[in-house]
Amino acid sequence: MNIILVSGKLAKAKTISLGLPQFALLGLGLIVSVLALASAINYVLLRFAAELNVPYLQTILLSAQQEQHARTESYLRENLNAMAVRLGQMQAQLVRLDTLGERLAKLAGFKPQDLVFNEPPARGGAVSSLPPQDLSLSDFTRQLDLLTRQVEDRGDKLGVLESLFTLDSAKKKLLPTILPVEGGWYSSNFGWRIDPFTGQRAFHEGIDVMAEHGTAFRAAAGGVVIYSDVHPQYGNMIEIDHGNNLVTRYAHASKRLVKIGDVVLRGAKIGEVGKTGRATGTHLHFEVRQRGAPVNPTRFLRLPS
């Protein structure tokens, strides 16, 4: 296409030739101008829709606001649901920690009420000179994740500690740490003494505890009965194996209340005091034997039971 420009100011006519490239550039410029104008009109209409008070524009603006509000509310609801699940998990973990803490307190000899598990720890302090900062949702989520990991880690460690305490408590229950006769008093100690029958110096392999005839005597620790019969010198005699090569012996009983193979707990009644066998009077002869050799029972009786 040729465009001829004629003017009195020009010495001669001017010709402008327009080809396909020029038409394409012109069309592109026209499209860009239309889009820019539409965007500007749309911005102005939305920006000043509230002041213009045009019902159609008001409807469009309200619809856009409702859609944005719905998206925001959906996002917040999803995050709140996720945090509610995490909060429930943490509450369950805290209940577990409280239970573990109470059991550990009992195993360690504390009273659970002394440690006040059901109350938050006391905290305080002066107001900082630095300005306070609000937590963002991402900061809160990170703190919650960190706290969850710490609670799980503490729970695992407390569980291991409880297992160790339980094992230690079980081992203590297998040690002869309680005197078989309550309220009795020693009439003969462990070690060398003058034999009451021969008048010669002889080694006494246990301790004698005086008590009235028929007084109950109890297992000094838990274990299995390996002997319950009449012995020519010890009279009615009972032996209990506590494991770890430890055996306790109870002699001169008037009555035996357990038989071989019985499993007894510490403090269980196993017989009654008498003077059967080689005895000058009513008493209980009590021995502790380790690897078959007699050891002083007071070494164990002094241990915490």
Q: Which domain holds residue 43?
A: 2-7+15-47
Residue 266 above 60 pLDDT? yes
Range of lowest pLDDT (12-16, 181-185, 275-279, 298-302) = 12-16
What tokens were used for 107?
Answer: 């195993």
Asked whether residue 304 carries a pLDDT value surpassing 90, the answer given is: no
On whether both 111 and 197 belong to a single domain, the answer is no
Within-domain flag for 62: no
Tokens of 160: 């291991």
Identify whether the C-beta of residue 204 lies closer than 8 Å to the C-beta of residue 192: yes
Q: Are residues 148 and 201 in the same domain?
A: no
- Name the band, by pLDDT with cuts 50, 70 and 90, for residue 4: low
Res 133 pLDDT > 60: yes
User: Computed from CA positions of residues 195, 197, 293, 256, in that sequence, does the dihedral angle turn out positive or negative?
Assistant: negative
- In this structure, is residue 244 part of a structural domain? yes
Torsion sign across C-alpha atoms 38, 40, 42, 45: negative
Q: Which residue do the tokens 């029958």 mark?
A: 197
Query: Does residue 112 register a pLDDT over 70?
Result: no
Q: What is the CATH number of the domain that holds 243?
A: 2.70.70.10
**Alpha-carbon distances, residue 70 vs 50, 65, 79 (angstroms):** 21, 9, 14
The answer, yes or no, to whether residue 223 has pLDDT greater than 90, is yes
Residue identified by tokens 């996720």 is: 82
Same domain, 167 and 189: no
CB 179 within 8 A of CB 171: no
Distance of CA 75 to the CA centre of its chain: 34
Burial of 83 (0-12, 13-18, 19+ CB in 10 A): middle
| Within-domain flag for 101 | yes
Q: Is residue 126 part of a domain?
A: no
What number of H helices and E strands is found in the chain?
6, 14
Asked if pLDDT for residue 99 goes beyond 70, the answer is: yes
Q: According to the 3-state scheme, what is the secondary structure of 65-112?
A: HHHHHHHHHHHHHHHHHHHHHHHHHHHHHHHHHHHHHHHHHHHHCCCH
Looking at the fold, whether 206 and 295 belong to one and the same domain comes out as yes
Domains of the chain: total? 3
Is there a single domain that holds both residue 38 and residue 72? no
Q: Is the pLDDT of residue 57 over 90?
A: no
Could you tell me how many residues make up the chain? 305
Instruction: Please answer whether residues 91 and 85 qualify as being in contact, where contact means their C-beta atoms are separated by less than 8 angstroms.
Output: no
For residue 134, give every residue at least 6 positions away whose Cβ sits within 8 Å of its Cβ, in sequence order, or none.
none
The verdict on 101 and 151 lying in the same domain is: yes
Q: Is residue 192 part of a domain?
A: yes
Whether the predicted pLDDT of 225 surpasses 90: yes
Residues 141 and 197 in one domain: no
Q: What is the mean pLDDT of residues 80-93?
A: 72
Whether residue 214 lies inside any domain: the answer is yes
Asked, for residue 180, whether it belongs to a domain, the answer is: no
163 within domain boundaries = yes
Whether residue 113 sits in one domain with residue 42: no
pTM: predicted TM-score of the whole model, two decimal places: 0.52
